[in-house]
A = this chain, B = another copy of it.
Amino acid sequence: MALVVIGGNAAGLSAAARARRVDPRLEIVVLEKGPTVSYAACGLPYFVEGRVPQIADLAGYTPEYFRKERQIDVRTLAPVAAISHPRREVVLESGAQVRYEKLVIATGARGAMPRLPGADLPHVFTLHTLDDADRMRRFLRERQPKSAVVVGAGYIGVEVADALRRNGLRVTILERTQHALLRGEESFTAAVRKQLELHGVELRTGVTVSAIEPGAVAGVAGDMVVVAAGFHPNAELARAAGIEIGPTGAIRTDDRMETSLRGVFAAGDCAQVTHLVSGRPTWIPLGTTANKTGRVAGANAAGGRERFPGIVGTSIVSVFGMGFATTGFSAAEARAEGFSPTVARIEAYSRPRYYQGAKTIVELVADRATRRLLGGVVIGEDGAAGRIDVIATALQSRLRVDEFEQLDLAYSPPFAPVWDPVLIAAQQLLKEL
């Protein structure tokens, strides 16, 4: 009996490690297409920035570690060409075959613009792997670029822009849509733009990039270019094996992270999960979900019985020290999901004024019909993560605004005002309902 895991990063290794705990005797093989496993992908922008001094600080456990300490056979440079479920077999590109009884697919996601003309020019970068980060940092040191163009205003694009600006470069972000980060909303993008501009980064929205030229992108000059324009789930291998793909384009899973093929599980950025606010499928590739779904897939593949109910889509990104945090649905998203949303947006201080609080924006979305909370935004330099987590917890608990407004939150001048900004937003929202 063997468990095979395709993919050796957050989801895949979480699955393998959890399977080992559930069944100490299970044979476990992890097949990773790249040269390394288990690195801290979310730390890459901070290595580019220079805050994380050594790339080794982001490297995780080695295949040797997994082999010796966990009895997990991790094979790197082992790209998979096909899954033959009738034969319970994974076929590598090398032609080698690996038999499985249970399979976890954790193939991740990839950049959405891999074939952009000019993408292979030496001054063009992506930021997915340790090598990418290393190469970028070396380029900064050796070539001393004065300007950069970042293609894409998603979280990686914005984090890279922040990192490059802190290295003294003139930075322009080009974004195809009208929006930045993970909230398709005008007021949110306006706040991101304001913070970027305050720190000397220009954000141009509605710009389609169709090619990279040696000295410029879409007419914007840049000594270096970073392409960070969205993700696609790596679902082709699964699709070719006859596994059902969901409406999001990612692999359909149930709440045990099992796919449409019995005994085959999927986890991480290649898998679709349930949005707990709507109850519908969603695909929001984030490290937290990768780790959690990996654990559940691994436990169940090893004979356990665990559930992953879903996500509420919580995220936070630091833009020059200011947290931009979102959870649940925006009003527009809620409307598209069939709710009748109403919104309150307030500005308040993160602490009493006499204790120098930071300006904090809180937006809450609720359903008029049920008064249920549907989503929220918190923007601020102090406490944004904790505040969005309170809203996320409320979403997951299906609280009504009336209940949310009654929350007994911690108060003390060094930490929060007596009426926390999230409660002020709830009071405002109650007036709108």
Contact = CB atoms under 8 A, between A and B. Distances in A.
A392 interface: yes
Interface in A268-293: 276, 286-289, 291-292
A43 B352 contact: yes
A8 interface: no
A315 B412 contact: yes
A314 B410 contact: yes
Contacts of A339: none
Nearest to A155: B412
Contacts of A407: 389, 392-393, 396
A327 B408 contact: yes
B323 A385 contact: no
Interface in A306-359: 308-309, 311-318, 321, 323, 325, 327, 352-355
A42 interface: yes
B40 A352 contact: yes
* Interface SS of chain A: mixed
B52 A354 contact: yes
Given A291-B419, A383-B386, A386-B385, A309 B392 contact: no
Given A46-B413, A386-B387, 8 more contacts: A57-B353, A309-B406, A314-B409, A316-B416, A384-B415, A393-B394, A393-B397, A393-B399
18 contacts: A42-B411, A42-B413, A43-B354, A46-B413, A52-B354, A57-B353, A276-B408, A286-B411, A288-B418, A291-B419, A292-B406, A315-B410, A383-B385, A387-B389, A393-B399, A393-B409, A394-B397, A397-B399
